[in-house]
């Protein structure tokens, strides 16, 4: 490009950049409409985290306090640092008369979890998923060891894994 062509194109491109930031400034100065800052502790009542936020791992329970986990231990195997321990037992299935695994307790060590999500990818039944809660600070480390299945919950009878 020529000497004066350089100057002209520089002016043009600089002005097109300033247009964008200038629009941000004037919109935000007068209306605060495009501000994306979240004033966290003030909006704690209305704060809604977005769906993909990785706060913790939770287990899905329906309205009858029933979950989809049939204790296949895929998540326990997938977890790279042993954050998940599954306690299971076998019971006779009344319909078929065969022994079948059932979940006693799904133990989740939040203090070891790195939120990598491999367990959720590994789960064939979508029994566990991301929860959006991030208020995890406690006074005692033992509070971070959680039991994901709610007390008294049971496996959805006859639930079939769509992927199995």
Partner 1 sequence: MTANKTIITDFLVDQMQMPVDIAFWVEIVVVAAVYLGVFALLGLFLVWMERRAAAFFQQRLGPNRRGPAGLFQTIADALKLVSKEITGTEKRDKFLYTIAPYFVIVTALMALAVLPFSQELQAFDINLGVFFITSVSSVAVIGIFLAGWASNNKFSLLGGMRSGIQMISYELSIGMVIVAMTVLTGTLQLSEIISFQQEHGWSIWSGHIPAIIGFMIFMIAGTAESNRTPFDLVEAESELGSGYHSEYSGMNFAYYFLAEFVNMFIISAMVVILFFGGWLSPFGITDGIPYVGVFWFVFKTLGVVMLMMWFRWTFPRFRIDQLLTLEWKYLIPISMVNIVFMALVVWLGLTF
Binding site for partner 1 (CB under 8 A): 7, 14, 17-18, 20-22, 24-25, 28-29, 32, 34-37, 39
Q: What are phi and psi of 131, to 5 degrees?
A: -105, 150
Instruction: Return the residue matching tokens 């909006």.
Output: 43
The smaller minimum CB distance to partner 1, of residues 11 and 150, is found at 11
CB 70 within 8 A of CB 125: yes
The smaller minimum CB distance to partner 1, of residues 18 and 92, is found at 18
Q: How far is the CB of 25 from partner 1 (least distance, A)?
A: 5
The smaller minimum CB distance to partner 1, of residues 28 and 93, is found at 28
- Rounded Cα distance between 71 and 77, Å, is 12
Element (H, E) at 114: none
Q: How far is the CB of 44 from partner 1 (least distance, A)?
A: 16
DSSP states of 77-99 as a string? HH-TT--EEEEEEEEE-TTT-SE
- Rounded Cα distance between 132 and 84, Å, is 19
- Rounded Cα distance between 111 and 143, Å, is 9
The smaller minimum CB distance to partner 1, of residues 39 and 63, is found at 39
Q: How far is the CB of 37 from partner 1 (least distance, A)?
A: 4
Q: How far is the CB of 125 from partner 1 (least distance, A)?
A: 41
Query: How do strand 99-109 and strand 154-155 relate by DSSP bridges?
Result: unpaired
Q: How far is the CB of 8 from partner 1 (least distance, A)?
A: 12
The smaller minimum CB distance to partner 1, of residues 12 and 90, is found at 12
């Amino acid at each position: 490009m020529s000497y004066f062509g350089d100057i002209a194109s520089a002016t043009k491109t600089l002005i097109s950049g300033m247009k964008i930031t200038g629009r941000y400034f004037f919109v935000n100065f007068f209306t605060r409409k495009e501000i994306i800052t979240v004033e966290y502790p003030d909006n704690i009542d209305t704060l809604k985290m977005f769906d993909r936020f990785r706060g913790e791992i939770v287990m899905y329970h329906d309205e009858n306090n029933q979950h989809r986990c049939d204790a296949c231990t895929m998540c326990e195997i997938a977890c790279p640092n042993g954050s998940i321990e599954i306690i299971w037992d076998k019971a006779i299935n009344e319909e078929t008369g065969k022994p079948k695994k059932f979940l006693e307790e799904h133990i989740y060590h939040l203090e070891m979890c790195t939120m990598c999500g491999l367990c959720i990818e590994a789960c064939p039944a979508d029994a566990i998923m991301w929860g959006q809660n991030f208020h995890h600070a406690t006074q005692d480390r033992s509070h971070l060891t959680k039991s994901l299945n709610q007390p008294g919950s049971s496996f959805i009878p006859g639930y079939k894994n769509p992927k199995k």
